[in-house]
A and B are shown apart, each in its own frame.
Chain A
Amino acid sequence: MSKKNKNKSGELSIAQKNIRKRYRNAKGQLVSYQDVQNIKNYWRELIPQDKKPDNYNDPNFLRVTLKNLQPDELKQFSSQGSKGFTDEIPELFLVDSALPITVETTVDMRLNQAEAEGTKLFYNDQKVSKKELLAILQEYSDQVKEDTIKSGQNWYKTYATLQVDYKKNKITFDDTGDDTTGDPVADKKSKRYKDSQKLNKEQKKWLKNRNKK
């Protein structure tokens, strides 16, 4: 390793450590995050339980499999795996818990996994970092807690709905309101409200530009 790539104490930087953890193909080339996700999905969703190989549950299974694939084979598996994704799924993750023991997946755990898998993170339409999204989710959770206490109730757990798009390797937290209830009348009202808010935003922008002239 060249002198340039080492820090003062002679240790590898975080970026250097991370690149060592990345998957490589039979030619030693780095495999893209997207291809890794697709191949993981190929084995997960397209191969039946009884057809999965003996070492499937081995933590090194994916690393070993990718290491044995030539670039063209890898592309073929990736292409197959990419067909095995659904639309984005509204998954619920725990933000805060008043109870000391919980086995549920927290937002921290999910976003750490997302970081390792190169997942892009979004808050509404805006791309954000993991740190920023965690701060937004904490603020959202605190607001829920505040509202609950003010309405004379206790809170036990708070959850956030993250739209997990496995196909595009993207996670979105949309707080403009997934307040859908399943009741068509109420939901229609909510959509109308959202649309009117959007229109109002556009009209305010127009007014701002007009005042500048």
Chain B
Amino acid sequence: MAKKQKQKIVTCKLNKKFPELLDSFIALGTPIEVGLGKYSSYIITKNSNTKYKFLTKLQTKKTFIGYVKILKDLKRPEVEVVLSDLKDSIKESDNTYFDYGKAQNCEYENAVCVDLNSAYLQALYNLTLITKDTKDWIEKYLTKRERLVAVGMLAKQKEILQFENSKLISDTKEDAKNRFIFNAVIQEVASVMNKVAQNHVDDFISYWVDGIYLKNVFIAFEVVDQFEKAGFPCKIEELTDFKGKMSWSHMTYTYNKEGQSKKLDLPIRAVHDLRKRRIVSVINSKRIERNMPTLSLDDLSHRKYSQGLLALS
């Protein structure tokens, strides 16, 4: 037998043609392993021991340095108890990214957005999980996108699929030991957003991750004060020509900010839950053919941002 070849790694671009390319790999019928994530995926052809890494964008060295600094801080003995508490109490299904008041059309000549500065990074710091040095370094050297990726790397978790003779043989999920930390960060930011929304029911329009939209410009200063007391520095952005339009699946907001036109789509939960239930039934029908364990709706809610789900369905 020949000596096992060293794995060859080929870096590729993850673009919209990826599902078609994946199909052509599966169609070969040779054994392959596929890993599907949000920003990156891979295909290993086992016969040639080649790993094709598909990336949306190559991350800068600085992004990895930022991520490593966060990991190093998480290993400090003083955060052990906090981490253990978070691990026991945080459920991914409790993550919220957005909310809107009433699902109805609206129109305001002037509105404001109060935007948290480096929300996820600040939440890591507020939870005492990273040091001030790390927070300052990341804020100083990383761009907005790089910051988000460095923190988001905590959540990386791939869905691993094995194919042989063009058939799906197994489907497992990679163990992501730090994912609960990212979930805790999401929930920390959402809890502050929800609190402000509840305190200003009459002026609240909606929030999306780290920005809250309000009808009344004057209330913004009070909201800023509330955020700052909760440990989140923020800024006020003035918006004009603010319109909200309701469609069957989304609330769409359009507005002008500093002369530029912007658009924000918030999904309507009930519609998306129904769609999820339908996807679950489609996936399970395929699994039953292969005698594989079926998915529950709860499993799917963990996978809502996974490209794997799209490829399977």
List residues of chain A with CB under 8 Å of any chain B CB.
44-57, 83-84, 86-87, 89-92, 104, 153, 156-157, 159, 161, 178, 180-182, 184, 187
Contact = CB atoms under 8 A, between A and B. Distances in A.
Contacts of A156: 60-61
B25 A92 contact: no
Is chain A's binding surface mostly helix, strand, loop or mixed? Answer: mixed
A47 B143 CA distance: 46
A47 B11 CA distance: 23
Interface of B: 1-5, 10-18, 20-21, 24-25, 28, 30-31, 45-49, 52, 55-56, 58, 60-61, 143, 307
A41 to B, nearest CB: 9
A184 B4 CA distance: 41
Given A44-B47, A45-B28, A54-B2, A180 B20 contact: no
Contacts of A52: 1-2
A133 B11 CA distance: 20
Given A49-B47, A178-B13, A92 B5 contact: no
A98 to B, nearest CB: 11
A185 to B, nearest CB: 8
Q: Across the A-B interface, give the 6 residue pairs with the lowest CB-CB distance, nearest first.
A: A180-B15, A56-B2, A87-B24, A52-B2, A86-B24, A90-B13
B1 A180 contact: no
A48 to B, nearest CB: 5
A46 B12 CA distance: 22
Given A89-B52, A156-B61, A182 B24 contact: no
B10 A182 contact: no
Contacts of A89: 10, 12, 21, 52
B16 A187 contact: yes
Nearest to B4: A49
A54 B1 contact: yes
Select the residue from B2, B52, B56, B58 with max chain A CB neighbours within 10 A: B2
Contacts of A184: 16
Nearest to A44: B48
Given A52-B1, A55-B2, A92-B11, A47 B56 contact: no
Contact of A181 (B30, B49, B56, B61): B56
A106 to B, nearest CB: 12
A182 B1 contact: no
A55 B13 CA distance: 34
A46 B25 contact: no
Contacts of B13: 90-92, 161, 178
Nearest to B263: A185
Contacts of B31: 48
A114 to B, nearest CB: 15
Contacts of A86: 21, 24-25, 28
